[in-house]
Amino acid sequence: MAEIEVYTERYEREHGHKPVGRRFWSFTIVSPIATAKDHFLHTEQAMTYDKALEKAMEVAIKRRSERIIVEP
């Protein structure tokens, strides 16, 4: 299985640092098999970045994603 890229540059430009901490997180899942509505993933509760990324990675693997974009 190919490695999934985690793109954080948009987040870093907006916030001035790498994603870290506890908050509501948003991701764009880049996948050829997801519908437009399924491209976005928002956490339903505040959680650490590591936990949120873990959940996004689970979705990305199911959708055979090539990239996860961390949104600001």
Give per-residue pLDDT as tens, 22-65.
999 999 999 877 566 668 899 999 999 999 999 999 999 988 89
- Of 38 and 16, which is predicted with more confidence? 16
Domain ranges of the chain: 5-71
pLDDT at 19: 98
Query: Could you identify the residue written with the tokens 């901490």?
Result: 21
Task: State the Cα–Cα distance between residues 69 and 56, nearest whole angstrom.
Answer: 10
The predicted structure's pLDDT at residue 70: 98
Residue 12 has a pLDDT of 98
Whole-prediction pTM: 0.88
Distance between CA 58 and CA 13 in Å, rounded?
Answer: 26
pLDDT at residue 54, rounded to an integer:
97
